[in-house]
Amino acid sequence: MSVAVLVFPGSNCDRDAARALARLGVKVRLVWHRDSFRDADGVVLPGGFSYGDYLRSGALAAHSPAIDGVRALAARGVPVLGICNGFQILCEAGLLPGALGVNRSRQFRCSWEHVRVEQALAEGAPVGTVWHLPIAHREGRWLSDAPTRERVRGDGEVWLRYCAADGSVSDASNPNGSLDHVAGLVRASVMGLMPHPERAAEAVLGGTDGARLLTAWASRTGVAS
């Protein structure tokens, strides 16, 4: 049993994600986006700049051979996690709703932010849990048309929202202008978020909330020790 961490041309957080999961006792293998991972018990699409972010972030990777494999596994209920660029890819591929556009500031944002759990999808991460995680993106503003936005709300597909340290939500705690303060989404077994949990998985990195998030996700795959 293992988790496949996909590697696209331009990925640069693949080994970070693999290391963070391995430290949690998860068996991990790095998989080039053209290779098979059909036997994986979980899949991570890591952060980075797949295909140099040409066209739009994640747009080219969404047409990679790997996405057919991701679709097939997701259809079987295998957990899929997209981090930053991985989240962008999942949205571009239609596996998660909406799209990630340029930040409201029009600038690259690199900062630590708080996010609040809106859907209790794993043990150890109940609704209201607040995590402190780093972001690093220019295109992280979640956008959608009005019907999609209403359906996302109605179907409970918001997984994480940007918030203050006390869990309160306001425009002041929204670093990129995401609609409904969305920091992460979920649809069935597919989850995506803009913050980087793998960059907050060890105290030496500045925080360990990322390890808690990854532990909760790994518990869904059944591969955590």
Give the mean model confidence (pLDDT) for residues 162-186: 98
pTM of the model: 0.96
Residue 132, CB-side half-sphere exposure with 13 Å CA sphere: 10
Residue 225 has pLDDT above 90, yes or no: no
Distance in angstroms (rounded) separating the CA atoms of residues 74 and 13: 22
**Residue 224 — very low, low, confident or very high, per pLDDT cuts 50/70/90?**
low
Distance in angstroms (rounded) separating the CA atoms of residues 1 and 96: 25
Distance in angstroms (rounded) separating the CA atoms of residues 218 and 122: 9
Share of the chain above pLDDT 70, in %: 99
Q: What are the beta bridge partners of residue 121?
A: none
**Residue 192 — very low, low, confident or very high, per pLDDT cuts 50/70/90?**
very high
> What is the per-residue burial (b if ≥16 Cβ within 10 Å, else e) of 20-58?
bbeebebebebbebeeebeebbbbbbbbbbbbebeebbb
Distance in angstroms (rounded) separating the CA atoms of residues 103 and 175: 8
**pLDDT per residue as tens digits for the range 98-129:** 999 999 999 999 999 999 999 988 777 899 99
Active site residues: 84, 196, 198
Residue 4 has pLDDT above 70, yes or no: yes
Distance in angstroms (rounded) separating the CA atoms of residues 167 and 16: 28
Distance in angstroms (rounded) separating the CA atoms of residues 167 and 12: 31
Query: Which numeric CATH code is attached to 3-221?
Result: 3.40.50.880
**pLDDT per residue as tens digits for the range 127-139:** 999 999 999 999 9
**pLDDT per residue as tens digits for the range 153-166:** 999 999 999 999 99
Distance of CA 181 to CAs 51, 58, 80, 149, 186, Å? 28, 21, 22, 12, 14
- Domain regions of the chain by residue span: 3-221
Distance of CA 192 to CAs 165, 185, 196, Å? 21, 5, 11
